[in-house]
Amino acid sequence: MDLAYRLEGVRHCYGNKTVLCIDEQAIELNRIVGIVGHNGSGKSTLLRLLALLEHPTRGKVHYFAESKEPMFEVALLPQEPYLLRRSVFSNVSYGLEIRGCGKNEIRQRVYDALSWVGLDPEGFACRRWYALSGGEAQRVALAARLVLRPRVLLLDEPTTSVDAESGRKIREAILKARNEWGTTVIVSSHDRQWLFDVCDTIIHLFRGRVVGSGVENIVFGPWRKLEGDLWIKIFPDGQKFLCPGVPGCDAVGLIDPSDMHMFPEATGSKYKRRACCIHG
């Protein structure tokens, strides 16, 4: 198994607060890996460590670089990307100019990158930064990373506040980067459906710790105890999880999709909305 990263005994603190605590975690090369967790679970901090922008307070983040300049192999798209006060073309071409690429190569790669994110190069290359919608600005920022053809692409909440079409184009661009260049993509998102559609595997973070890794669904508390050994978790949309043997109201559960069975609402049922019965 070829690895892009291996984390060993990582502890990261801001002041006296420990925000990340990962004993061991490997990330395979050429995979699309999702990171999920509540706000404050350490997702953005983990991405910054993987981007080599910060060193952990303790422990090691091993990045298996192919060159002597690993920083040039890794690209991070933060949750609120910054665009230069220039044209779309200048924003996307900036990294290539720093690397000393020729004008013809820059033009071709910029136009290719805009096409990958679903923006017509002829219509968008000369557009100014202030004339972009939120979804368009996010796609331009992604194109500015894709144009570099990074070995590792790190994305922090790339679909936040974008429309469905932009979310679909971002997904297509991520898959293209992995399939055409072998790019390892690591992406955090609160949009779990989008994440599960694009990722090979998922890392689940809870209060800075990895509580699971795989395609399982993670279910946070609070849980409410019913009769006998049965507990219930009620979601904001009214859906319910029923589960036996929950250890406490604040328990965190990892559930394989094959262990869940959906039941439609039944006339006269005690539970008036859909329920999912989890067999542990």
Within 8 A by CB and 6+ apart from 68, the residues are none
**Any idea where the domains of the chain sit in the sequence?**
3-214, 217-278
pLDDT at 115: 96
What contacts 24+ positions apart, CB below 8 Å, involve 76-79?
76/47, 76/48, 76/51, 76/145, 76/154, 76/155, 76/156, 77/141, 77/142, 77/145, 77/153, 77/154, 77/155, 77/156, 77/158, 78/44, 78/156, 79/44, 79/156, 79/157, 79/160
Q: How remote is the C-alpha of 25 from its chain's centroid? A: 16
pLDDT at 161: 79
Q: What is the pLDDT of residues 15-62, one digit of tens each?
A: 999 999 999 999 999 999 999 988 889 999 999 999 999 999 999 999
Assess contact for 236 and 70: CB atoms under 8 A: no
Q: How far apart are CA 137 and CA 163, in angstroms?
A: 12
Within 8 A by CB and 6+ apart from 180, the residues are none
Q: What is the DSSP string of 109-148?
A: HHHHHHHHTT--HHHHTT-BGGG--HHHHHHHHHHHHHTT
31-45, 88-102, 260-274: least confidently modelled range: 260-274
The CA–CA distances, whole Å, from 145 to 32, 62, 83, 138, 170 equal 16, 22, 12, 11, 12
Within 8 A by CB and 6+ apart from 187, the residues are 32, 33, 34, 35, 154, 155, 156, 158, 174, 195, 198, 199
Kindly report the pTM of this predicted structure. 0.79
Q: What is the pLDDT of residues 106-163, one digit of tens each?
A: 999 999 999 999 999 999 999 999 999 989 999 999 999 999 999 999 999 998 878 8
* Best CATH choice for the domain 3-214 from the list 3.90.1300.10, 3.40.50.300, 2.40.10.10, 3.40.50.740: 3.40.50.300
Question: Between these two residues, 190 and 246, which has the higher pLDDT value?
Answer: 190
Q: How far apart are CA 152 and CA 155, in angstroms?
A: 10
Q: How far apart are CA 48 and CA 77, in angstroms?
A: 10
